[in-house]
Amino acid sequence: MKVTLKIKRFNPEADQKPHWESYPVEVEPTERLLDALHQVKWFQDGTLALRRSCAHGICGSDTMRINGGNRLACKVLMQDIVKDGGTVTVEPMLGLKVIKDLIVDLEPFFAHYRSVMPYVVNDEALPEDGRERLQSPEARERFDQGTKCILCAACTTACPSFWSNSTYVGPAAIVQAHRFIFDDRDRATDERLAVLNEQFGVWRCRTVFNCTEACPRDIPVTQLIGEVKRALATGRVE
């Protein structure tokens, strides 16, 4: 099928402002948008800058606004977003500074990630037999959703609270915190909850569900944030 990619370009080395450029491409309906972008980059205009790596939705590099909403370019097939002869718009994520074209500065995103202590803390003695700590399948299942997160930033940059104020810790960091708060091997629940109880913590969430809709890993992000709020309000992790 023949389609047009309308891409928002911005190279701060050369441009004053972002501008749109259109590229005609011919693709198979079952190809990924990433394949179409590669066609542009490899055979039409090598100056197009984007991040990508694994190309099948695991590494989380190629989050961008596709037809206005956050998706991974490697996880959408052309046939699902455009008809023959149609146009696909591609823009960088919203709320983070654009470095070049579709590439944004992720440092603030990772700073929020680091702020929630994203690691298991447990200084208790290890099992004497030198083996694993025990955990029931139910306890393991309790935090399963959060472990799927690939830190692609699709949720955080879909969040109106984050757009308007990027000091908000954001959905991704809360999902990460949830993963540890609800892991019964962890012993730093209260410290982590204290971080999220601050002014720029979970209370900035307005239950918009953009995060849940944007998540390429189908994590029920808003639900996990809700569970953290509940834990804060009731003192029960359940």
Partner 1 sequence: MTAIGATMSLFVEGLLYRGREGHLSYIGHRLAGLGTLLFLAIHIVDTSSVYFGALLGVPEMYSHAIDIYRSPLFMVGEIVLVAAVIYHGINGLKIILHDTFPHWWNKGFERQSFWKVVAMTLLLWAPAAYLMGRSLYLHSICRCPPVETADVTASTNFAVTAIPLLFFAILAVLIVGGKLLAPAPAGRRVAAPPKTLDTHIWQFMRWSGVLLIPLVWIHVAIQDVLVGVHAIDLDFVALRWATLGWRLYDIALLGFAFGHAILGLRNVTNDYLANPVWNRRVKWLLIIGWLVITAIGAVAIVGGVMRPE
Partner 2 sequence: MTQHHQFEAVIVGAGGAGLMAALHAARSAKVAVISKLYPTRSHTGTAQGGIAAALANMEEDHWEWHMYDTVKGGDYLVDQDAAEILAREAIEAVIELEHMGLPFDRTPDGRIEQRRFGGHTAEHGKRPVMRACKSADRTGHMILQTLFQNCVKQQVTFFDEYFVADLILEDNVCRGVVAMDIASGEMHVFHAKAVMLATGGFGRMFKVTSNAHSLTGDPVAAAYRRGVPLEDMEFFQFHPTGIYRMGILLSEAARGEGGVFINGQGERFMERYAPTMKDLASRDVCSRCIYLEVKAGRGIGGKDYVYLDIRPETINRYKSAPGGRTVTAHELETKLPDIIEMMRIYQGVEPMREPVPIQPTAHYAMGGIPTDSSGRVRANEGPGFVTGLFAAGESACVSVHGANRLGTNSLVDLVVFGRRGGRAMARFCQQAAFAPLPADPQAAVVAELERIRANTGQEKAGALRAEMQAIMMDNVSVFRDAGLISAAQAKVRELKERFAHVQIDDKGRRFNTDLLEAFELGCLLDLADVTASSALARTESRGAHSREDYPQRDDANWLKHTFAFAGQPSGAGLAMGEVRLAYRPVVVTKFEPKERVY
Which residues bind to partner 1, rule: CB under 8 A? 65, 67-69, 94-95, 138, 142, 158, 160-161, 163-167, 184, 189-190, 193-194, 197-199, 201, 203-204, 206-210, 212-213, 218, 220, 222-227, 229-238
CB atoms under 10 Å from CB of 194, counted, come to 12
For position 137 contacting partner 2 by CB under 8 A, the verdict is yes
Which amino acid belongs to residue 69?
Answer: G
Q: Compute the residue count for the chain.
A: 238
Token pair for 226: 């809700």
Residue in 15, 21, 84, 144 binding partner 2, rule: CB under 8 A: 144
Token match 């915190």: residue?
177
For position 128 contacting partner 2 by CB under 8 A, the verdict is no
Residue in 123, 125, 131, 235 binding partner 2, rule: CB under 8 A: 131
For position 189 contacting partner 2 by CB under 8 A, the verdict is no
How, if at all, do strands 98-100 and 19-26 pair? unpaired
Beta carbons of 125 and 35 less than 8 angstroms apart: no
Residue 169's closest CA among 232, 110, 87? Answer: 110
Q: How far is the CB of 181 from partner 2 (least distance, A)?
A: 13
Q: How far is the CB of 34 from partner 2 (least distance, A)?
A: 9
Which amino acid belongs to residue 231?
Answer: A
Token pair for 210: 């953009």
For position 227 contacting partner 2 by CB under 8 A, the verdict is no
Q: How far is the CB of 24 from partner 1 (least distance, A)?
A: 23
For position 140 contacting partner 2 by CB under 8 A, the verdict is yes
For residue 122, CA distances in Å to 27, 180, 194 come to 52, 11, 18
Beta carbons of 60 and 110 less than 8 angstroms apart: no
The site partner of 229 among partner 2, partner 1, none (C-beta below 5 to 8 Å per kind) is: partner 1
Q: How far is the CB of 26 from partner 1 (least distance, A)?
A: 26
CA 39: distance to chain centroid?
A: 25
The residues binding partner 2 (CB under 8 A) are: 11-14, 30, 32, 41-43, 45-47, 49-50, 52-61, 75, 77, 99-100, 103, 106, 110, 113-114, 117-122, 126, 130-137, 139-140, 143-144, 147-151, 180, 183, 185-186, 218
